[in-house]
């Protein structure tokens, strides 16, 4: 999530492949997830009830203390969000930490996504977005989601769902957040998008996509991509 130039994405892909070969992803490569059909309600909450499994994910997000950790302009431990360099440190990986936070939440839910050490924290959101939709990402259990309503329905069912944006400039950061289970209506989703938990320019337990992606003018609504993954029973 910085504007610094890091090693080419091709190297990250090679490292990711090595990670997978070493068992970094526990999913069966032969399994490709088939998403359930979604019926969108025209009145009231659009996308189904919030299940106990989804509430478990919400608890993980709400227990993350994201509004006080993964702070911008600090170098942090990607897993915990705790600063691990002095406040005056101005080197690499010290800008914003949306992708590190997303990866940390995935780890806490026993779901792998591209993360350190197989890719640096710098520009990781761009690499994650590309990785989710790649053969490696699909083999790791990630599935592309077509619409925000389907993303909301899957989050409400208890799947881990991310909303991510890959910058068209490989030297500029993208963005990623975790979609929250919610009772948003179709009208609310059209108006301001899904609700997310994120780190970034500002850290939020609960923020709309429209606000979350405002630092990326080409992102919401047409440039955001959604991906989902089954969450093992907690």
Closest by CA to 3, choosing from 94, 137, 139, is 94
Question: Who contacts 108 (Cβ-Cβ below 8 Å, separation ≥6)?
Answer: 60, 64
Residue 82: pLDDT band by 50, 70, 90 thresholds?
Answer: very high
- Residue 37 inside a domain? The answer is no
Residue 57 vs residues 99, 135, 157, 189, 229: alpha-carbon distances, Å: 17, 26, 10, 20, 12
CB atoms within 10 A of CB 54: 23
Q: Do the beta carbons of residue 6 and residue 120 sit within 8 Å?
A: yes
Query: What pTM, to 2 d.p., does this model score?
Result: 0.83
Q: How many residues does the chain have?
A: 234
- Residue 129 inside a domain? The answer is yes
Total domains in the fold of the chain: 1
- Residue 1 inside a domain? The answer is no
Query: How far apart, in whole angstroms, are the C-alpha atoms of residue 37 and residue 224?
Result: 21
- Residue 32 inside a domain? The answer is no
Query: 17-51, pLDDT tens digit by residue?
Result: 434 433 333 344 444 556 666 667 666 788 999 99
Query: How far apart, in whole angstroms, are the C-alpha atoms of residue 78 and residue 153?
Result: 29
- Residue 8 inside a domain? The answer is no
The answer on pLDDT for 105 being more than 80 is yes
Q: Locate 1 and state its tokens.
A: 């999530």
- Residue 197 inside a domain? The answer is yes
Query: How far apart, in whole angstroms, are the C-alpha atoms of residue 99 and residue 105?
Result: 10
- Residue 91 inside a domain? The answer is yes
Report the CATH number that the domain containing residue 46 is assigned in CATH.
3.90.1720.10
Which one has a higher pLDDT value, 115 or 7?
115
Residue 132: pLDDT band by 50, 70, 90 thresholds?
Answer: very high
Query: 90-102, pLDDT tens digit by residue?
Result: 888 878 999 999 9
The answer on pLDDT for 13 being more than 80 is no
- Residue 9 inside a domain? The answer is no
Q: How high is the mean pLDDT of the chain?
A: 87
Which one has a higher pLDDT value, 51 or 7?
51
């Amino acid at each position: 999530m910085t504007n610094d130039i890091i090693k080419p994405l091709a190297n990250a892909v090679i490292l990711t492949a090595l990670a997978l070969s070493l068992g970094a992803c526990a999913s069966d490569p032969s399994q490709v997830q088939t998403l359930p059909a979604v019926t969108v309600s025209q009145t009231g909450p659009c996308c189904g009830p919030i299940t106990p499994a989804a509430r478990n994910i919400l608890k993980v997000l709400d227990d993350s203390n994201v509004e006080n950790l993964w702070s911008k302009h600090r170098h942090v431990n990607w897993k915990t969000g705790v600063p691990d360099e002095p406040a005056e440190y101005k080197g690499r990986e010290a800008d914003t930490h949306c992708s590190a936070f997303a990866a940390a939440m995935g780890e806490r839910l026993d779901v792998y996504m591209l993360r350190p050490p197989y890719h640096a924290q710098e520009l990781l959101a761009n690499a994650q977005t590309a990785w989710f939709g790649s053969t490696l990402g699909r083999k790791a259990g990630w599935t592309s989601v077509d619409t925000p309503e389907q993303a909301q329905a899957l989050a409400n069912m208890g799947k881990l769902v991310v909303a991510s944006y890959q910058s068209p400039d490989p030297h500029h950061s993208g963005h990623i957040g975790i979609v929250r289970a919610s009772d948003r209506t179709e009208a609310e989703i059209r108006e301001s998008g899904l609700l997310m938990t994120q780190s970034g320019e500002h850290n939020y337990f609960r923020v709309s996509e429209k606000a979350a992606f405002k630092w990326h003018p080409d992102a919401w609504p047409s440039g955001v991509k959604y991906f989902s993954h089954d969450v093992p029973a907690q």
